[in-house]
Amino acid sequence: MKALEGLKVLDLTSALNGPFCTTMLADHGADVIKFEPPAGEQCRTWGPLDEKSGESGFYAFLNRNKKGCTLNLKNEKAREMFYELVKDADAVVENYRPGVTKKLGVDYETLKKINPKIIYASGSGFGQYGPISHRPCYDIVAQSMGGMVNLTGYKDAPPVKVGPSVADHVAGIYLCVGFLLALYHREKTGEGQHVDVSMMDTIFTLLENSIVKTTMQGIIPERQGNIDPSISPFDIYPTSDGYVALGVGNDKLFRTFCDVIERPELVDDPLYLTNDLRCQNYENGLQQLITEWTKQHTKAELEEIFDEAGIPCGPVLNMKEAIEHPQIQAREMMVHMDHPTIGEMYFQGCPVKLSKTPPSIDTPAPLLGQHNQEVFHLDDETYAQLKDEGVL
């Protein structure tokens, strides 16, 4: 049994933040039915594309465990068919630009009249209200305006965005939190509601002490590369074959650290006596000294040495190394899936491990319109007719 078994979710999402939310719901057992325009949603054209079939690997990993229908919501008959499904659905999830669902007649105000218990979850760039809620948004814009880009990168160098789409993904996870909160409330009261999550808000919530530093001390934090302003040594160091991350959190561990790097005299050096002093004097001396030592070792050597010493340390892994890492493997963070046109796939698994109701990945992403007849209960003739009419 999975946690969300028996729940029916109508999925109007496309691209990334919305689908990432409904993927979690599907992995945990909800019956997620995804609706795309008859031409397919944008992310069906996003790479990597399968050479043989042209199918999108991006779409395929992101939409596993879901059923797929096509539906032209600009068509009145299509809208009526959707309303029919809303009657006994538990939730609708969407990530249109605010305002669009109203034009399409599938906004919360409309759907709650059909089913007052419906939970309606909306993901967007800037949220459902506020002066710029109408604007289009990409992950890179949300990262920039939310304040994260200015805090990432090296001092005295241009800012850099987080490589992967962190605004989209984390907004999707928050949307899942919102759905589950609303679900619990509905269990207690029978009442549905509207959940609203924005990518800009999402990024803003990840900035931790930078915010209080600004408001309490009037200091505007700037990017610091890989250094932590309040722990030292704490950095990413070059080795003979790549990079390792390393953090020495307190005086006791610093003593161990000095032994490990065979520089026991540093412990009593007045420049490095306390963590505060090490932070102050890190960039003029300590950093260089550690770097010279780490460069003489491999990543694997350093990982082993510091594991034994009980000092947090780990290599900077590339994508292949991360995929093959024994910990990722042991935790089934990569799963195999047979896709009807792509064939054998190997992609990311589920991070939320539940002892009694474990998630799992059971079915591949749907082909375009694959479940139209099943979901709408259509015989072959009616199906062909609706396709002709541009409804599906």
* Residues marked as catalytic: 168
Q: Is 136 in the site for its own copies (CB under 8 A)?
A: yes
Residues in the chain: 392
Q: Is 75 in the site for its own copies (CB under 8 A)?
A: no
Q: Which of 39, 87, 99, 177 binds its own copies (CB under 8 A)?
A: 177
* Alpha carbon distance, N-terminus to C-terminus of the chain: 33
- How near is the Cβ of 66 to its own copies at its closest, in Å? 17
Q: Is 335 in the site for its own copies (CB under 8 A)?
A: no
Q: Is 283 in the site for its own copies (CB under 8 A)?
A: no
Which candidate, 204, 227, 365, 199, places its Cα nearest to that of 290? 227
Q: Is 367 in the site for its own copies (CB under 8 A)?
A: no
Q: Which two tokens stand for residue 165?
A: 């789409």
Q: Which of 274, 296, 357, 385 binds its own copies (CB under 8 A)?
A: 357
CA angle (119, 120, 124) in 5-degree steps: 150
C-alpha 307/C-alpha 330 separation (Å) is 19
The helix (H) or strand (E) run that includes residue 65 is none
Question: Which residues in the 33-72 window bind its own copies by CB under 8 A?
Answer: 46-48, 50, 57-58, 60-62
C-alpha 118/C-alpha 110 separation (Å) is 11
Q: Is 310 in the site for its own copies (CB under 8 A)?
A: yes
C-alpha 360/C-alpha 65 separation (Å) is 9
Q: Which of 131, 262, 379, 388 binds its own copies (CB under 8 A)?
A: 131
Q: Which of 99, 116, 225, 264 binds its own copies (CB under 8 A)?
A: 225
Select the span of 63-71, 122-130, 265-273, 366-374 touching its own copies (CB under 8 A): 122-130
Residue 82's Cβ-count burial label (10 Å; 0-12, 13-18, 19+) is: buried
Q: Which of 8, 77, 117, 223 binds its own copies (CB under 8 A)?
A: 223
Q: Which two tokens stand for residue 320?
A: 């292949």
- How near is the Cβ of 82 to its own copies at its closest, in Å? 21
Q: Is 161 in the site for its own copies (CB under 8 A)?
A: yes
Select the span of 70-78, 331-339, 365-373, 374-382 touching its own copies (CB under 8 A): 331-339
Question: Which residues in the 336-355 window bind its own copies by CB under 8 A?
Answer: 342, 345-348, 351-355
Q: Residue 217 CB: number of other CB atoms within 10 A?
A: 9
Q: Which two tokens stand for residue 38?
A: 């008859």
Q: Is 296 in the site for its own copies (CB under 8 A)?
A: no
Q: Which of 14, 128, 232, 239 binds its own copies (CB under 8 A)?
A: 128
How many residues bind its own copies, per CB under 8 A? 148
C-alpha 296/C-alpha 300 separation (Å) is 12
Pairing of strands 8-11, 31-36: parallel
Q: Is 181 in the site for its own copies (CB under 8 A)?
A: yes
